[in-house]
Chain A
């Protein structure tokens, strides 16, 4: 029985509790179970890089990415399990970016891949919501940093509860229909290598979250759709667009 760390609605206090006692409360809205900076990683699924095709070598990119390309989901974007994703008034569709968040357990600077998991406290499910956009040349703040555009949770599951983070199935359902299937086997940088290559240039601190990437062909959702992201052994994150 894994232990999880979660914040229930109305409580900013972290509580460590057994999964069983939490499940009964799942119908209620949660608070985001994290408090640090949430970073995303661009193009870290093999399929997402392959989809870029020849464009990787053409303007404006001119070469494939070398080091991890990161972005930040600021705190106004954070939303808990069961929270409502606000649809911007001038938009019709949103992109559902299913990811797993590595929740950092202790300050990580220049860690080696072999030791990288020592710096991870646990895992959580993240929906990196965006307005549809093709270009990844300039930072996508307007497309990615809107209020409620980063549902996260329901909880942080301790890392010991996940046998192998390099082989976790991720499924995305919209209104109950399976729209996307992928697996962390398809990452370009595995979790330990990603942590190594990120902390080579910047420190991750306790409570920070590093998303491992979004699989290719992320599903599109519209107003009133319910999006459920299942990450095997980690959790099920469900939100409705309003």
Chain B
């Protein structure tokens, strides 16, 4: 099942994708143009991975890390499908990052790789924008680069885990103004999803609703004001965002 959080006629609803279109939890059929997409999940704790695809690490002239490069993100940064993300006037390099977002479904402590997938409730798409002008070599990537307001679109749908039988074999693609600019597959992750859950839960408790953004493949290029950026993951949908001044 695919579910979303939407604002419709002044209230926040759960929306469900059906064969006939979009339906609210109360059974009402709605048109997409009448609703506002919100992030489908509201993580209290959100992890993100840097340099987690072989090709992207080499693109940025880094060796593949020996241990997952994990950082955390705040709640200020999430926005829904069809949202806008600001590019400040002083920014010279701002790039999208199409990422598989994994949502934890039950409390996880010291989970083995073999059992890790059972702790996932579902998946969504993230576009984890980076503003490289603000990179500093302290706790890199620092929050000024990766945690700006409304700079991490999530959505459109939360897709139940049972509808994604093999999360480690999904095509990812990003389009800027309709042109393909980034292509990859989750099978090229350095640390795959089970490894990440095993790693994180080896030293801290993961809670239901926590989200892991699993990194991005090669093909990140600068985007400009007015660009329409679509991040797509096979089976999950397309997440659209527009860059504004």
- Tell whether A and B belong to one assembly: yes
Interface residues of A (CB under 8 A from B): 36-37, 39, 42-43, 60-63, 65-72, 74-77, 88, 109, 136-142, 145-147, 201-205, 208
Number of B positions contacting A (CB below 8 A): 31
| Complex contacts, A63 vs chain B, CB 8 Å | 136-137
| Complex contacts, A139 vs chain B, CB 8 Å | 69-72, 139-141
CB of B147 within 8 A of chain A? yes
Give the interface centre of B47, B73, B136, B139 by most chain A CB atoms within 10 Å: B139
Whether the pair A202, B45 counts as a contact (CB closer than 8 A) is no
Q: Which of A36, A146, A202 contacts B147 (CB 8 A)?
A: A202
Q: What separation, in Å, do the CA atoms of A136 and B138 have in the docked complex?
A: 6
Q: What separation, in Å, do the CA atoms of A75 and B149 have in the docked complex?
A: 20
Within 8 A of A (CB), among B72-101: 72-77
Instruction: List 6 extra interface pairs beyond A72-B73, A75-B45, A139-B72, CB under 8 A.
Output: A67-B136, A69-B136, A69-B139, A74-B45, A76-B204, A139-B71
Within 8 A of A (CB), among B177-202: none
| Complex contacts, B47 vs chain A, CB 8 Å | 141
| B86 vs chain A, min Cβ distance (A) | 11
Whether the pair A145, B72 counts as a contact (CB closer than 8 A) is yes
Q: A76-B205, A202-B148 are in contact. Are A141 and B138 (CB under 8 A)?
A: no
Q: What separation, in Å, do the CA atoms of A39 and B142 have in the docked complex?
A: 12
Q: What separation, in Å, do the CA atoms of A77 and B205 have in the docked complex?
A: 9
Whether the pair A42, B138 counts as a contact (CB closer than 8 A) is yes
CB of B31 within 8 A of chain A? no
Task: Give the 4 A-B residue pairs with the shortest CB-CB distance, closest first.
Answer: A72-B72, A74-B45, A139-B71, A69-B138
17 chain-A/chain-B pairs, Cβ below 8 angstroms: A37-B74, A42-B139, A63-B136, A65-B138, A66-B136, A69-B139, A69-B143, A74-B204, A76-B207, A77-B204, A137-B137, A137-B139, A142-B70, A146-B204, A201-B147, A201-B148, A205-B76
